[in-house]
Amino acid sequence: MSNYNVAEIKQKLASLFSPFANKSLGSMDAIKHVGIDNEKDVVVLIINTYTNNPEEVKYLRKAIAKLIKIDLEFSGVKIQFEQTKEISCKGAKFILIESGKGGVGKSQIAINLTYHLAKLGKKVGLIDGDIYTPTVNIMLMIPNQSLAVNDYGKIIPHKIKGFETVSVEFFNQPDEAVLWSKDIVNNMFSNFLYQVAWSKDLEYVIVDMPSSTTEFMVNAKSLLPDSEVLLVTTPSFASAHSVIKAGNGLKQLNHNIIGVIENMNGFPVSKDEDEYLNTNGGKVVSNALDIELICSIPFKPAETGYLYELDEENGQIFKDLATLISIR
């Protein structure tokens, strides 16, 4: 029968060092519970791990068992390991690109805002959160490939054009449909936050959100309570009508909508070159939600691919948008 008490056990455990996290259990605040079953002379522990590496659990289990059973002379030990969910870039500002509907060009807004924040010298990440219909990899012309995993079991994001990005496309075949339940999709979105080795010094993470609403809005608010939202519409009344509904839903969930973006201004709707989609959808959404219309982006394809450069009109608009975001 050991004579050590809970405080003494915790003090001894705190000095145990994890070579996987390169920290002691005490410095990581990893010791969540210490109890003693006096009748059986058994120590009961709950230990948090900060990596997704099964080798860390194996190492800690062995080290803790040695400490408790040999050094402290208890008859046994029961250990429950729990993985701590912590975003590696916890200092970053998350900006969700939302609309509540498809076809408004959220992905193009997301990649160009990310690109121009990076061109301003900001440290930026991009999450393709549209898991059912991901397009970021196609638009950035990223070849089909898998992502590597680091020594801690975290996914290493792809680096391109000065920023980091992840998408479900890295885990599927190019033409493979995603036929997952919403629970699985929400779990994948959570993994993009917690299981990705984002650079710790990221300043912004742009999230291209799914077209559907409600459940994903709730999930995003739960996972990223301090995130901000840019709401995207086109000039059409039909688009504005749907986006207003989405905006009201976001407000009810206490999302912080920081601006409205009107995309595809001047979109031709017939063979008549004088007939354009110009019904002021951005102003309609802005007025209905009492949120500033921060930019209107003309319907002009990029000269190369989907990213606008600074010598293009839309490139200057995205530079101004990125500057506005960076000085808020």
DSSP code of residue 30 = -
**pLDDT, tens only, 78-113:** 999 987 777 889 899 999 999 988 899 999 999 999
Mention every residue, 6+ apart, whose C-beta is less than 8 A from residue 8.
none
Is the pLDDT at 303 greater than 80, yes or no?
Answer: yes
**How much of the chain is helix, strand and coil, in % rounded to 5?**
35, 25, 40
Is the pLDDT at 155 greater than 70, yes or no?
Answer: yes
Average pLDDT over residues 10-28: 90
pLDDT at 276: 47
Give the lowest-confidence range in 27-36, 60-69, 82-91, 256-265.
82-91
DSSP code of residue 302 = -
Longest pairwise C-alpha distance within the chain: 91
Is the pLDDT at 273 greater than 60, yes or no?
Answer: no
Average pLDDT over residues 132-136: 93
C-alpha distances (whole Å) from 144 to each of 134, 154, 167, 289 are: 13, 20, 11, 40
Topology given in CATH for the domain delimited by 6-83: GMP Synthetase; Chain A, domain 3 (3.30.300)
Average pLDDT over residues 241-247: 94
pLDDT at 179: 86
Domain positions in the chain are: 6-83, 93-327
Compute the distance between CA of residue 317 and CA of residue 107 in angstroms, rounded to an integer. Answer: 16
CB–CB of 290/257 below 8 Å?
no
> What band does 2 get if pLDDT is binned at 50, 70 and 90?
confident
**pLDDT, tens only, 38-62:** 989 999 999 988 666 788 899 999 9
Rg (CA), the chain: 25
Higher pLDDT, 272 or 82: 82
The arrangement of secondary structure in 93-327, i.e. its CATH architecture, is: 3-Layer(aba) Sandwich (3.40)
Compute the distance between CA of residue 40 and CA of residue 49 in angstroms, rounded to an integer. Answer: 27
Q: Among 136, 86, 94, which Cα is nearest to 111's?
A: 136
CB–CB of 261/292 below 8 Å?
no
User: What DSSP letter does each residue of 178-240 carry, written as one string?
Assistant: ----HHHHHHHHHHHHHSB---TT--EEEEE--S--THHHHHHHHH-TT-EEEEEE-SSHHHH
Phi, psi of 80 (to 5 degrees): -110, 120
Compute the distance between CA of residue 72 and CA of residue 43 in angstroms, rounded to an integer. Answer: 10
pLDDT at 257: 98
